[in-house]
Structure 1
Amino acid sequence: MKSAMRFLLPALLMTGCGTPKPAETPAHPEWSYRSVVYELNVRQATPDGTFAAAADRLPALKELGVDIVWCMPIYPIGTQGRKGTLGSYYAILDYCDVNPEFGTLADFDAFLNRAHELDMKVILDWVANHTSPDSKWAQEHRDWHLRDSLGNTVVEYDWTDIAKLDYGNRDMRRAMTDAMHFWVDRGVDGFRCDMAMLVPIDFWQTSFAELKEKRPDLYLLAEGESAELHDRAFDATYTWELHHLLNDVAQGKKGVAELKAYLAADAEKMPREAMRLMFTSNHDENSWAGTEFERMGDAVRAMAVLCFTLPQGQPLIYTGQEVGYDHRFEFFEKDSMPVTEANEFTEFYRSLCALRHDNEALAAGERGGAFRYLEGMPDGVLGFVRETDGNRVNCLVNLTPEPVEVKGSCSGGDCLAEHLTVGDGTLQLGGWGYCVWTE
């Protein structure tokens, strides 16, 4: 939803996170700074649930504006302790093969080649913390896993289908790095590392340094939000705390003050070059906590706008969000998304992806624009600016279900907006309304 408008607000600007200075040497792959990540649930994304069917969907994802396709684990799944009929993708039987449910290695190669033909990157979900109890490693190398006093492999949380690996074992570490080489040699562009904070940081540092000798432009995403993960290891980390805060804001439990406090704390904690993955859904949230519609209700689009515009952010779209699919995917069973034509949600996400691609100020990490708040905002409205030399993105987001009035005027330019009415010297934002405009 675009309108030909440029808003001129009389409010003053207040510095939020300082003015980034261009780095002489980029901290991340050049292609990653304004990228959009799409989490592909291969099992559920198509009725067939195969690499071949997923490859057929790639042109539509390219048109949407997706740059990085993150494939949930594609490896064979163990049978010992298996949950449900098909099992958890995260109970790895063999790191150097593919789940026959999805096809063959040749099928994966064809998927990867198709993505590359479309100038899209593919990263694999890498599960370095554990394997299945009956994995190839557990059978052939008994000392590669942690074991209790009775010799049983160690289970974490309620993950009864896994066996925790022992990072005190040098041979296991070598084998893990070699397994990552196997996929880099096939042409994958990086890894999303599951539960990265449970694996010693020195393993990631050593392995990634070795892998980058071969592929300097690898992109590495950590499921974790410790600043340590950015120490010679990962490009991007999760913003779990922000995600739960956005849920609370949508439910009326928190508001602008708490969001500003979070942003200040995160800017203080994280290095300036850190990329921060932002999302309204992912596979964990969707299956276990509910869809974004269940958690965020009418605030869904406003929260997505924040994920595409907040400082240091790198946005994520999960399977089905691009068509507004309101369904909790079964995790251990086949529960495929029906074939759905492009709709208003597709256009919404396409507009957000284009906004990110077209504006340097919205880049992640150290390339992103200086972040400043707009002062004089009415209660419940978050107003801010992202700005670099020659590019400025202005954002107003109503974080309440009630309509509000913002003093200002408009002339010229383009705007992405919803629930917006322009008055004489005022802007009326309906409940969960927003407007984003560039200069």
Structure 2
Amino acid sequence: MTPASEPHREWWRGAVIYQIYPRSFADANGDGIGDLAGITAHLDHVASLGVDAVWISPFYASPMKDFGYDVADYCDVDPVFGTLADFDALLARAHALGLRVILDQVWSHTSDQHPWFKASRQDRANPHADWYVWADALADGSPPNNWQSVFGGPGWTWDARRGQYYQHNFLPEQPQLNGRHPAVQDALLAVGRFWLDRGVDGFRLDAINFMIGDPGLRDNPPLPPGGKRTRPFDFQDKIYNQSSPDILPFLARVRALTDSYGDRRFTVAEIAGDHADREMKAFTAEGLLNSAYGFLYLYAEHLSGERVAAGAAMWPGAQGQGWPSWAFSNHDAPRAVSRWAEGRDARALAEMLLLLLVSLRGNVFVYYGEELGLPQGEVPFERLLDPEAIANWPQTLGRDGARTPMPWRADAPFAGFSTVEPWLPVDARHPALSVDVQNADPRSMLNAARRILALRRAHPALRIGEMKMLTTGPVLTFTREGGDETLLAAFNLGHEAQEWTAPEGFAVIDSVNPGKTGSLPPLGGVLLRRQTV
């Protein structure tokens, strides 16, 4: 079953996709952890936002060392989340509501508890021996090269059974697959086929630029001095353990697989790193993935017009160029409303950010709770679970605060997320922002979000139109043009009111935090349409 009838077009181009982190969305069985049945029970809320699809973070069988991004079985549901039957029920309900379903696929690495790795580490001659990246020690017993792990420390762990090191770009419990191996590629494509056969509408490919490294295992060179560095990983130019052009033929196979199910499946790459701009374009060239997104906004400590202009310049819409996707918040980054508030009103900022996000050229990812204006959850050190947060505390905010439970009902225990203490604490500020409270308030952020997200469907220029930067400050302005309409967007990202008057011939179609005539207040935003004669 697929969503209700639409015109035959690429549904994903310019779509709004709502990300659900399943551990934190809704707990249906009272164990303190969100699950698939909890998602299904709340899909009406998601559909009410007017989004096109949901992206669900991993729910596969996993030891949960990295909370699902360490997969032990790609084709089964971890019992903490439910069963395959629960997933099928979720998919059917989503499709009945007109929502597409996008799944995370973690194809760069597995869990060390995956049967493939358990076999691979036994010896050097078994059928899975070369399915992971193994290497001998140097003469002094040290690791084969200087590659570092994202989560801190060397990117290699010694395994006495094989008498070799295995590589891991993340935790030692996340061994690196040998993405060059034809049998590995075939096995991963079989995983994709398993979920496509169940009816899913596409994939988000996690950390896919880590899939294949340098076969010669050359040392990464150092980065020039400067920049924020909290991990050894930050000191290197990662040109050899990621970014290989040898990934591209595999992506062509992924695209051929999804296209074999019709042209309405969607693929998007997550691309992090110092060369994300180049990689996103390479990975989405003609015949490869549909879209890609990076961390231009996700790790940014400040929001500026120059940053928006940089994003527009990355994806100008040249012939043969891929299609961008954008996110201000997700499960890997502190929530934008906290990162960018800088002492300003969080509610006003949340509304302006959503209008800005839907005004950008490309797909839009909305992270669960973003429609409520949730600030970053406060998680005390003794409740931290994220390995990155623990390793780098207190230098980084970590990821736990972006993963705290969704507040559904203000007067219910644990804000209606669960009947027992959740896996992460409910922030004391969040119940007042719960769905039931905001549903009842016509002036709430939730109802503003519904209004703003509806603009994407109402205006082809926003969904598929061209973007032209006009000014980056003190007022950020740009146009979106397409579908026989021209829109003008203006935002004051600063702390002081700015003089600004809409040009003649334009009429306001939406505004946030409006001020007096001739002025745009801090966090003010306006979207206008050229009037036709």
Judged with a 3 Å threshold, the aligned counterparts in structure 2 of structure 1 residues 130 and 120 are, in CA distance, closer, same or farther, namely same
**Count of aligned positions:** 384
Q: After the TM superposition, which residues 58-69 of structure 1 pair with which residues of structure 2 at under 5 Å, given as runs?
A: 58-69=43-54
SS at 1:431 equivalent: coil
Q: After the TM superposition, which residues 67-216 of structure 1 pair with which residues of structure 2 at under 5 Å, given as runs?
A: 67-78=52-63, 83=65, 87-140=66-119, 141-149=128-136, 150-157=163-170, 159-199=171-211, 200-216=247-263
Equivalent AA in structure 1 for residue 104 of structure 2: D
SS at 2:58 equivalent: coil
Contact conserved, 1:279 with 1:304, CA < 8 A, in 2?
no
Residues 137-159 of structure 1: CA deviation (Å, up to 9, x unaligned): 112433311123233432214x2
Aligned to 1:221: 268
Shift of 1:305: 2.3
- Where structure 1 has 5 or more consecutive residues not aligned to the other structure, the ranges are 1-27, 250-254
Q: Does 1:236 align with 2:294?
A: no
Residues 265-323 of structure 1: CA deviation (Å, up to 9, x unaligned): 4428x7665222212200000xxxx2222201144433332221122x21111111122
Judged with a 3 Å threshold, the aligned counterparts in structure 2 of structure 1 residues 271 and 237 are, in CA distance, closer, same or farther, namely farther
Aligned to 1:310: 360
Contact conserved, 1:243 with 1:278, CA < 8 A, in 2?
no
Q: 1:256 aligns with which of 295, 305, 321?
A: 305
Q: What TM-score comes out, normalization by structure 1 length?
A: 0.81
Residues 20-69 of structure 1: CA deviation (Å, up to 9, x unaligned): xxxxxxxx962112320111111100133121110111111111012111
> Matches of 2:470 and 2:100 in 1, distance apart?
36
SS at 1:284 equivalent: coil
Q: Does 1:46 align with 2:26?
A: yes
Residues 205-257 of structure 1: CA deviation (Å, up to 9, x unaligned): 11321332133321001001421111222111114224445x423xxxxx434
Q: What TM-score comes out, normalization by structure 2 length?
A: 0.67
Identity of aligned residues (%): 27
Shift of 1:406: 1.1
Judged with a 3 Å threshold, the aligned counterparts in structure 2 of structure 1 residues 220 and 280 are, in CA distance, closer, same or farther, namely same
Equivalent AA in structure 2 for residue 64 of structure 1: L
SS at 1:174 equivalent: helix
- Where structure 2 has 5 or more consecutive residues not aligned to the other structure, the ranges are 1-7, 29-33, 120-127, 137-162, 212-246, 387-399, 409-433, 439-443
Shift of 1:98: 0.8
> Matches of 2:404 and 2:297 in 1, distance apart?
29
SS at 1:316 equivalent: strand
Contact conserved, 2:476 with 2:491, CA < 8 A, in 1?
yes
Q: After the TM superposition, which residues 268-347 of structure 1 pair with which residues of structure 2 at under 5 Å, given as runs?
A: 273-285=321-333, 290-297=334-341, 298=344, 299-311=349-361, 313-328=362-377, 335-339=404-408, 340-342=434-436, 343=438, 344-347=444-447
Larger relative strand fraction:
1
Contact conserved, 1:29 with 1:219, CA < 8 A, in 2?
no
Aligned to 1:24: none
Equivalent AA in structure 2 for residue 263 of structure 1: A
Aligned to 1:359: 459
> Matches of 1:41 and 1:315 in 2, distance apart?
16
Residues 131-181 of structure 1: CA deviation (Å, up to 9, x unaligned): 011202112433311123233432214x22201001232112111111110
Equivalent AA in structure 2 for residue 153 of structure 1: Y
Larger relative helix fraction:
1
Contact conserved, 1:47 with 1:337, CA < 8 A, in 2?
no
Judged with a 3 Å threshold, the aligned counterparts in structure 2 of structure 1 residues 256 and 412 are, in CA distance, closer, same or farther, namely closer
RMSD: 2.5
SS at 2:363 equivalent: strand
Residues 326-351 of structure 1: CA deviation (Å, up to 9, x unaligned): 24486659953232225222122212
> Matches of 2:130 and 2:179 in 1, distance apart?
11
Aligned to 1:371: 467
Contact conserved, 1:321 with 1:345, CA < 8 A, in 2?
no
SS at 2:43 equivalent: helix
